[in-house]
Each structure stands twice: as structure tokens, then as C-alpha cells.
């Protein structure tokens, strides 16, 4: 199934995609207005509710009439992994980047999250705005100390992530958090695709276009640490909870490592696509003046 969070004539809702329409699931549990994290917390019963709604007579809303949100609009955690693709390591070897012995985790503040088709801001404080197409894992079950052989069982679904990065801010300290956490720099979606719709998660094609030019073209098979290994590693440290998002790394082709560098500018359109998961597209705009 493809689960969505969306806006339509009021507060955010959740639903399941059915053709070119959305089956609204916000009120399938009497007396509650569900959000995506609620549905994931219900577990198998939640997925059964989604399947029943899709097969039944629950009202449908045309997809063209809604604004899709990030499937989990405010996850409890959003973490990424650096240097997890062989081709990305090769293109950065001249910078002294070495093959990691363990996953290199960094945090993206959850206020960076935005919708799969929403604008991305070019910050006032930097011109080094970059893109990275990544397969995102959404945790579906509360877990700790998960063995790699069991790790895929705790996944609620997959999303396409753009790990938008501000390179000079990323490199100004030993941790990458600041350069990864600017507002709007975490678009993902367009749907939360449940694992039953994905074949081999380590054999998915992953691509990025900027203004129609193909910039990234790789495979999740390049990962140094697989999705299962990443979950096993992180769960040794902290409890993973429904709705947590883990971005799993990016193949070669980011703008900052091109010669010369090709950072994003206002007006650029970035499209990212992963086999079986979907596509997101974001237009870069100058950071607006917000009223405090």
C-alpha cells in the first residue's frame, strides 16, 4: 500500500492511495483523528484498517485536489548516514575520505521536514546548497537491540528523501547537524510505501535530475551498510519508534563534488526517483523573510 499525509479543506489528514484518488482514513477509528504515527503505532491492525478502507466505500478524494505532506510530517527522529555508497566514496577520495568501518550517523532536526513537492529554501547565509537522493526507512515498530536478520520486520515503509545539505555549514564543525537541518531541507515522500510493495530493497535504482539533467544514477545495492545493518547498528544505541526516519545514504553525483561545483540556485527544479518508491520534486526559492 501507499499511505499518505495530506491537506484538503482543513487540518492534515491521512489516507491510502487508490489509483488517482486518496481514501481518507483520518476517522476510521471512531472518536479519534488519526495521524500517520498513530496508524503505525497500531501496527498490523493499522495496516488492516488501511486495506479495509481501500477495499471499502470510504470517501475518496481526487489526488489532484490535495497537497501531499511528508508522510510523517514531524517524525520523532530523523537521522542520516554519511559515506554509505561506494560510488560516493570514490568521487570524494581526493578529499581524503576513507571507507568507514561503521555507519557514520548524523542528525537532521525534524523542523527541516517539508512536503515532497514543496519549495526548498536557498539560505541567506550560504550559496553552497546541495542535493542528495536517498532511500528513507520509516520505522513501524518500537524496537531496541534488533538483530540484522530481524531488522526488516520493524520497517513500516519506505520513502524518497532529499537530504538537502548546506556544505559550508556542514563542514564548519565535527558534526554535520547544522548543515543538514535548515528549514525545508528535509523533503520526503511522496508516499509511505509498505514493504510488501518493494522487491529487493537492496536492488532499487536511485536517480536525481536538476532542471532535467540527470545528476545521480545509482543503485541501493552500492550501500556499504544495508538497510538491515543500519537498523541493527542504530538500535544498539537508542530505542527506535514508529515514524522515525532513517535516510540511508546517496550515490555519486551531488553538486558539491562536481568539477566545477554545481550548487543549487533559486529557480532550480530537483526531481528524485527511486524504483517502486516514487518520485519527489522540489523547486529552489530564495529564503523568504519570515515575520517573527
The per-residue pLDDT for range 255-283, each reduced to its tens digit, is: 999 999 999 999 999 999 999 999 999 99
Give the 3-state secondary structure of residue 211. coil
Condensed to tens digits (0 to 9), the pLDDT of residues 80-119 reads 999 999 988 888 777 767 788 999 999 999 999 999 999 9
**In this model, does residue 291 exceed pLDDT 60?**
no
Res 62: pLDDT:
96
Res 32: pLDDT:
83
Instruction: Tell me the pLDDT of the chain averaged across its residues.
Output: 94
pLDDT-derived band of residue 148, with 50, 70 and 90 as boundaries? very high
CATH of 78-286 among 3.90.550.10, 3.90.850.10, 3.90.1150.10, 1.20.210.10: 3.90.850.10
Res 29: pLDDT:
80
Res 54: pLDDT:
86
pLDDT-derived band of residue 18, with 50, 70 and 90 as boundaries? very high
Q: Which of 59-63, 92-96, 145-149, 194-198 has the lowest mean pLDDT?
A: 92-96
Which has more confidence, 289 or 65? 65
Which has more confidence, 276 or 32? 276
**In this model, does residue 246 exceed pLDDT 70?**
yes
Alpha helix ranges (H) inside 185-263 = 227-234
Which residues, 6 or more positions from 114, have their beta carbon under 8 angstroms from its beta carbon? 70, 120, 183, 184, 185, 186, 187, 282
pLDDT-derived band of residue 13, with 50, 70 and 90 as boundaries? very high
CA 171, 177, 182, 186 torsion: positive or negative? positive
Angle at the Cα of 270 from the Cα atoms of 264 and 274, rounded to 5 degrees: 135
* Range(s) within the chain of domains with CATH label 3.90.850.10: 78-286
The pTM (predicted TM-score) of the whole model is: 0.96
The Cα–Cα gap between 146 and 150 comes to 7
Q: What are phi and psi of 139, to 5 degrees?
A: -70, 140
Would you give the DSSP letter of residue 240?
Answer: B
Amino acid at each position: 500500500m501507499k499511505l499518505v499525509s495530506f491537506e484538503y479543506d482543513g487540518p492534515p489528514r491521512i489516507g491510502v492511495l487508490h489509483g488517482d484518488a486518496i481514501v481518507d482514513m483520518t476517522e476510521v477509528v471512531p472518536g479519534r483523528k488519526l495521524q500517520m504515527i498513530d496508524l503505525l503505532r497500531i501496527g498490523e491492525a493499522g495496516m488492516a484498517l488501511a486495506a479495509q478502507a481501500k477495499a471499502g466505500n470510504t470517501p475518496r478524494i481526487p489526488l489532484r485536489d490535495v497537497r501531499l505532506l511528508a508522510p510523517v510530517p514531524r517524525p520523532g527522529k530523523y537521522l542520516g548516514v554519511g559515506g554509505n555508497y561506494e560510488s560516493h566514496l570514490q568521487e570524494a577520495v581526493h578529499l581524503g575520505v576513507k571507507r568507514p568501518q561503521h555507519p557514520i550517523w548524523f542528525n537532521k532536526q525534524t523542523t527541516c521536514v517539508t512536503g515532497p513537492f514543496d519549495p526548498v529554501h536557498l539560505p541567506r547565509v550560504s550559496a553552497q546548497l546541495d542535493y542528495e537522493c536517498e532511500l528513507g526507512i520509516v520505522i513501524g515498530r518500537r524496537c531496541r537491540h534488533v538483530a540484522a536478520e530481524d531488522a526488516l520486520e520493524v520497517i513500516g515503509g519506505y520513502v524518497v528523501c532529499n537530504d538537502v545539505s548546506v556544505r559550508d555549514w556542514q563542514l564548519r564543525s565535527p558534526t554535520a547537524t547544522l548543515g543538514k537541518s535548515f528549514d525545508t531541507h528535509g523533503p520526503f515522500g511522496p508516499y509511505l510505501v509498505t514493504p510488501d510493495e518493494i522487491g529487493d530493497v537492496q536492488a532499487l535504482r536511485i536517480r536525481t535530475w536538476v532542471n532535467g539533467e540527470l545528476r545521480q544514477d545509482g543503485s541501493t545495492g552500492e550501500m556499504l551498510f544495508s538497510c538491515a545493518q543500519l537498523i541493527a547498528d542504530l538500535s544498539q544505541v537508542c530505542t527506535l519508534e514508529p515514524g522515525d526516519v532513517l535516510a540511508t545514504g546517496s550515490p555519486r553525483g551531488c553538486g558539491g563534488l562536481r568539477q566545477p561545483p554545481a550548487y543549487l540556485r533559486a529557480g532550480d527544479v530537483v526531481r528524485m526517483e527511486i524504483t517502486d518508491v516514487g518520485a519527489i520534486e522540489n523547486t529552489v526559492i530564495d529564503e523568504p523573510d519570515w515575520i517573527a
